Amino acid sequence: MKVVKFGGSSLADGPQFEKVISIMKADPERQVIITSAPGKRHDGDIKVTDLLIKYAQLTIKHADTSEIFNQIFSRYQSIGDYFGLTEDALAPIWHALSELPTTDYPDDDYLMAAFKAHGERLNARLMATVMTHLGLKARFVDPKEAGIIVSDEPNNATVLPETYTHLAHIDVDDTILVFPGFFGFTPNGQIATFSRGGSDITGAIVARGLKADLYENFTDVDAIYAANPKLVDHPLAIHRMTYREMRELSYAGFSVFHDEAIIPAIQGEIPINVKNTNRPDLPGTLIVPEKDFKPAQTITGVASSTRFAALYLHRYLLNKEVGFTLKLLQVFKKYNVSYEHMPSGIDDLTVIFDKTQFDEDTIHNMCHDIREVLQPDTLEWIDDYAIIMVVGEGMRNKVGVIEQIIQPLAQHDIGVHMINQGASRISIMLGTRRADAEEAVKSIYNAFFSSEPVKN
What pTM was estimated for this model as a whole? 0.85
Mean pLDDT of the chain: 91
Q: Residue 221: its pLDDT value, please?
A: 87
Distance CA 6, CA 23 (A): 11
Q: Residue 67: its pLDDT value, please?
A: 97
Does residue 320 carry a pLDDT above 90? no
Q: Residue 397: its pLDDT value, please?
A: 80
Q: What is the pLDDT of residues 164-173, one digit of tens each?
A: 999 999 988 8
List strand residue ranges (DSSP E) for 318-401, in order: 348-354, 378-391
Distance CA 315, CA 350 (A): 12
Does residue 85 carry a pLDDT above 80? yes
Neighbours of 199 (CB within 10 A): 31
Q: Would you call 174 helix, strand, or coil by DSSP? A: coil
Does residue 423 carry a pLDDT above 80? no
- Phi and psi dihedrals of 318, rounded to 5? -55, -40
> Of 127, 176, 139, which Cα lies nearest the Cα of 14?
127
Does residue 451 carry a pLDDT above 70? no
Q: What is the pLDDT of residues 270-315, one digit of tens each?
A: 999 999 999 999 999 999 998 889 888 899 999 998 888 999 999 8
Does residue 455 carry a pLDDT above 60? no
CB distance 217 to 280 below 8 Å: no
Of 244-253, 373-382, 391-400, the range with the lowest mean pLDDT is 244-253
CB distance 190 to 249 below 8 Å: no
Q: What angle do CA 385, 388, 394 make, to 5 degrees?
A: 160
Domains and CATH numbers, the chain: 2-220 (3.40.1160.10), 301-449 (3.30.2130.10)
Distance CA 53, CA 215 (A): 29
Does residue 409 carry a pLDDT above 50? yes
Q: Residue 345: its pLDDT value, please?
A: 82
CB distance 7 to 219 below 8 Å: yes
- Phi and psi dihedrals of 219, rounded to 5? -140, -155
CB distance 409 to 440 below 8 Å: yes
Q: Residue 221, Cα to own-chain centre: how many angstroms?
A: 15
Using pLDDT thresholds of 50, 70 and 90, give the confidence band for residue 197: low
Of 119-123, 124-128, 234-238, 399-403, the range with the lowest mean pLDDT is 399-403
